[in-house]
């Protein structure tokens, strides 16, 4: 199974990607997580990426494409992968298509998680993330058992630097300008499947798995 998860900030791509990765035994590849690791480790890529990320803008295509191409070449991605947050521009989508076609490993499907802006803002203003296992929590929708602590590994939860309301609004605008055109790109290729992501987490997971099971049976 080779999947791309599309959807605006806060749609639940990361949340669902972790669950789907567990369910199908394939890695979640989140460009946001990889970039944040580079920022934390102060690598050259991290230093360049940070200026864009802090403003809610996209990191230049070339940097991200190289990073993903390298990651897709790792052994755990051989049996499949879930791309979470990549591609995000038509140029990234074309590069991915070229690389996967050359390797005779086409995408199985592109899942489009749809939510409205106000729900996205509500979700992101309540988000806390575990820096170790990357699980996300939400003060309104899914609080951890003990405030500020990850239920799974006991790490201290963190807020993301780009989750303040102004930056979230800018991220949504950038998504509309640069990523929304990918819906058409993938619809034309017969790969796009829409999931209503306004529903509670478990319901979204059930709908997504049902959809993927249907695709596997087809």
Catalytic residues: 13, 88, 127, 160, 171
Strand partners, 70: none
Question: 190 — alpha (psi -120 to 50), left (phi > 0) or beta?
Answer: left
Q: Which of 20, 38, 82, 86 binds ligand AP5 (CB under 6 A)?
A: 86
Q: Which of 20, 26, 85, 107 binds ligand AP5 (CB under 6 A)?
A: 85
Through-space distance between the first and last CA atoms of the chain, rounded to whole angstroms = 13
27 belongs to the binding site for ligand AP5 (CB under 6 A): no
Count interface residues toward ligand AP5 (CB under 6 A): 37
95 belongs to the binding site for ligand AP5 (CB under 6 A): no
Residues 49-78 that bind ligand AP5 (CB under 6 A): 52-53, 56-59, 64
117 belongs to the binding site for ligand AP5 (CB under 6 A): no
Instruction: Please state the closest distance from residue 75 (CB atom) to ligand AP5, in A.
Output: 23
12 belongs to the binding site for ligand AP5 (CB under 6 A): yes
Contact 162, 54 (CB under 8 A): yes
CA distance linking residue 49 with residue 20, whole number of Å: 28
Number of other CB atoms surrounding residue 44 within 10 Å = 9
Instruction: Please state the closest distance from residue 10 (CB atom) to ligand AP5, in A.
Output: 5
Contact 27, 21 (CB under 8 A): yes
205 belongs to the binding site for ligand AP5 (CB under 6 A): no
DSSP 133: T
Instruction: Please state the closest distance from residue 132 (CB atom) to ligand AP5, in A.
Output: 15
């Amino acid at each position: 199974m080779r999947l791309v998860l599309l959807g605006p900030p806060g749609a639940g791509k990361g949340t669902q990607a972790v669950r789907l990765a567990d369910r199908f035994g394939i890695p979640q590849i989140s460009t946001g997580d990889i970039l944040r690791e580079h920022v934390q480790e102060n690598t050259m890529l991290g230093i360049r990426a940070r200026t864009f990320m802090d403003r809610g803008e996209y990191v230049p295509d070339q940097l991200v494409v190289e990073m993903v191409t390298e990651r897709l070449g790792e052994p755990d991605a051989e049996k499949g992968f879930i791309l979470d947050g990549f591609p995000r521009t038509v140029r990234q989508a074309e590069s991915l298509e070229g690389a996967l076609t050359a390797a005779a490993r086409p995408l199985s499907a592109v899942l489009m998680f749809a939510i409205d802006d106000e729900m996205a803002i509500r979700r992101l203003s309540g988000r806390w993330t575990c820096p170790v296992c990357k699980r996300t929590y939400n003060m309104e929708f899914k609080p951890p058992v003990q405030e500020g602590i990850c239920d799974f590994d006991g790490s201290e939860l963190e807020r993301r630097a780009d989750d303040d309301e102004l930056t979230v609004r800018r991220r949504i605008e950038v998504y509309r300008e640069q990523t929304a055109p990918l819906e058409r790109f993938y619809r034309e290729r017969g790969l796009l499947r829409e999931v209503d992501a306004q529903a509670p987490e478990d319901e979204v997971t059930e709908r997504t798995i049902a959809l993927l099971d249907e695709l596997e049976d087809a």
